[in-house]
Amino acid sequence: MAGVGGGNDFQWCFSQVKGAIDEDVAEADIISTVEFNYSGDLLATGDKGGRVVIFQREQESKNRPHSRGEYNVYSTFQSHEPEFDYLKSLEIEEKINKIRWLPQQNAAHSLLSTNDKTIKLWKISQRDKRAEGYNLKDEDGRLRDPFRITSLRVPVLLPMDRMVEASPRRIFANAHTYHINSISVNSDHETYLSADDLRVNLWHLEITDRSFNIVDIKPANMEELTEVITAAECHPHQCNVFVYSSSKGTIRLCDMRAAALCDRQSKFFEEPEDPSSRSFFSEIISSISDVKFSHSGRYMMTRDYLSVKVWDLNMENRPVETYQVHEYLRSKLCSLYENDCIFDKFECCWNGSDSAIMTGSYNNFFRMFDRNTRRDITLEASRENSKPRAILKARKVSTGGKRKKDEISVDSLDFNKKILHTAWHPKENVIAVAATNNLYIFQDKIN
């Protein structure tokens, strides 16, 4: 795939936007996770209200060959409900923290969705045919009197309006004392891991009453706690390898073959701190909010507050690439600490060929970096740029005194409009960007 910048490279166009247009955003409608499935034909979103909405890509129509298939609603269901933990007098939010698709094994689709405490396996199946002409029952379902049947007929399959059904097939509960931040399906397609602030558990997809604890960083005395787990992921090809990141900016790679308890890491990734940029907030901004393996499995990418780093799994002492997402915020860290924005957890993602990476920012901006050309671009997800197939214009934040036309100054950025969740189609240049309660879909322009 070619690059992400302007010019000869691909140009990003608006394709669709899903969600309400109201200025008043209902808290429950805020999108909390976005994920394409393995083929890219399905796109799932989870929201704070515990609902999952799955979009399916329509087949390309012959009438409009220039437009790729659009994503339309395929299924909507309530995955998690709010709960109350009576023991601790705490509400358990129904917000969907993560969705991960399982590889498709039959006609049905399966995904894992999780809130803070409970992971559920949902099976989504569709019916678009029904049988007619039964011998033993009428069309309305009433049983026919066997003595009245004088002839036999073969039932026929007739098309019907497509009906999509989602049913919870497994519920993996009661294994996490702390809030689940990650789930990741293993490459063996039989197991998956779930991680909370202090522990990582390994599950078998068929077994719900038991999980293996493979990482535990809880100190004997909680007063000694200085570091939490922020994200975890299974290696895409080696089913014995996984990584987890921490709030101190470190990543540990573990091999499940080495020991049953992976408290000792196989590899430890940390970049030495730059003493000249040290501040009171150094630790907070080093906290890693997302970690993602490349599709190849050779690299992994981490997102901290101000940057995205690409690591070669064979080099632990520093990343091979560092991309600044919004360095202009470095001088504003105190204000961002005050208004809590400094704790925002941004995600990041690779494109299908690992040649580009994408992550979100504030003011509904999102950033893309081309690893080969080293070009980057800032785009905006907004209703103003929502004309069909309109090409997105590159945005720029002015950092100096002089603000050029079309630039926006740092102080004018809207920090309530944050893009935390983005997803890239596994094979094509189609991206999904969650902007609060709206889901934007952008595609490259077909010439």
Residues contributing to the site for other proteins (CB under 8 A):
87-91, 93, 116, 174-175, 177-179, 197-198, 201, 209-213, 216-228, 230, 246-248, 250, 259-261, 263, 268, 270, 272-273, 275-276, 278, 280-284, 287, 334, 337-338, 340, 343
The residue count for the chain = 447
In terms of CB distance, is 82 or 133 closer to other proteins?
82
In terms of CB distance, is 251 or 357 closer to other proteins?
251
CA distance 429 to 445: 9
The kind and range of the H/E element at 1 are: none
Smallest distance, other proteins to C-beta of residue 219, A:
4
Smallest distance, other proteins to C-beta of residue 224, A:
5
Smallest distance, other proteins to C-beta of residue 244, A:
11
Smallest distance, other proteins to C-beta of residue 181, A:
8
Smallest distance, other proteins to C-beta of residue 25, A:
19
Smallest distance, other proteins to C-beta of residue 189, A:
21
Which residue reads 């399916």 in tokens?
56
Smallest distance, other proteins to C-beta of residue 434, A:
20
In terms of CB distance, is 118 or 385 closer to other proteins?
118
CA distance 41 to 43: 7
- Among residues 439, 367, 403, the alpha carbon closest in space to that of 5 is found at 367
- Among residues 161, 155, 163, 165, the alpha carbon closest in space to that of 131 is found at 155
First to last CA, the chain: 15
In terms of CB distance, is 147 or 280 closer to other proteins?
280
In terms of CB distance, is 89 or 151 closer to other proteins?
89
Query: Which residues make beta-bridge pairs with 45?
Result: 34, 53
CA 21: distance to chain centroid? 23
In terms of CB distance, is 262 or 433 closer to other proteins?
262
In terms of CB distance, is 248 or 330 closer to other proteins?
248
Three-class DSSP category at 132: strand
Smallest distance, other proteins to C-beta of residue 33, A:
17
In terms of CB distance, is 252 or 326 closer to other proteins?
252
As given in the structure block, the two tokens for residue 147 are 């003595």
Contacts of 87 (CB under 8 A, 6+ apart): none
Smallest distance, other proteins to C-beta of residue 210, A:
6
| DSSP symbols for 414-433 | -TTSB--EEEE-SSSSEEEE
HSE-up of 428 (CA within 13 Å, CB side)?
Answer: 17
Cα dihedral across residues 348, 297, 186, 440: positive or negative:
positive
Give yes or no for a contact between 308 and 357, defined as CB atoms under 8 angstroms apart: yes
The kind and range of the H/E element at 214 are: strand 212-216
Give yes or no for a contact between 351 and 429, defined as CB atoms under 8 angstroms apart: yes
- Among residues 68, 39, 37, the alpha carbon closest in space to that of 52 is found at 37
In terms of CB distance, is 151 or 221 closer to other proteins?
221
Smallest distance, other proteins to C-beta of residue 64, A:
46
In terms of CB distance, is 248 or 445 closer to other proteins?
248
Q: What is the DSSP code (8-state) at residue 23?
A: S
Three-class DSSP category at 128: strand
